[in-house]
Amino acid sequence: MTRLFGRFLAAAFVVLAFALPAAAQTKPDPQNTLYLDTPYGRVVIALRPDLAPQHVERLKTLTREGYYNNVPFHRVIDGFMAQTGDGQYGNGTGGSKYPNLPAEFSNVPFKRGVVGMARASSPNSANSQFFIMFDETPSLNGQYTVVGQVVSGMEFVDKVKKGSGSSGSVSNPDKIVKMQVAADAK
């Protein structure tokens, strides 16, 4: 009986040894979590500094400066993505006071809920704008920087007013009510 109990304890230890690190990884890091409040509810985004440290830092810096508050979702294409983050002009042509960032591409696929950095034709032109995927779009893989993943509130992103035509330009667009780093949330 003692031998059987010893084997049970050894097996339990092995299971816990592997389970605890996995559980620790799923706990949200408030320093790398964004709260994006829409008119419909809160979207929680887990940032990925392991994939794109410079882009994640830029999003957090701008968020802490209040840059994204009241910024429109200026380009929203049903079945594709919702784009925002132009706190300069609100129409997709502006950026922040900071310089553009060099690309930090990864092999993470662009699927529903993935957050990527918008850019111009140059891979090194991302600045402040970002987009949230409605659906999988493999053509973006390895071409845009992945900065995070929506972990809750995707149903609120789905409600954002859609644009018209292939450009997805939105007249009278929905806006980010407020965006905060979770560690700073009040």
Q: What is the mean pLDDT of each run of 10 residues along the chain (186 residues)?
A: 50 46 64 98 98 98 98 97 98 97 98 98 98 98 98 98 93 97 94
pLDDT at 113: 98
Measured CA to CA, the distance from residue 129 to residue 133 in angstroms comes to 14
Q: At which residue do the structure tokens 């129409």 appear?
A: 91
Name the residue type at position 3. Answer: R
Radius of gyration of the chain (CA): 20
Measured CA to CA, the distance from residue 57 to residue 182 in angstroms comes to 14
What is the DSSP pairing of strand 130-133 with strand 81-84? antiparallel
Q: If DSSP codes are grouped into helix, strand and coil, which group holds residue 115? A: strand
pTM: 0.86
CATH class of 29-184: mainly beta
Measured CA to CA, the distance from residue 170 to residue 125 in angstroms comes to 23
pLDDT at 169: 95
Measured CA to CA, the distance from residue 177 to residue 104 in angstroms comes to 28
Measured CA to CA, the distance from residue 2 to residue 69 in angstroms comes to 63
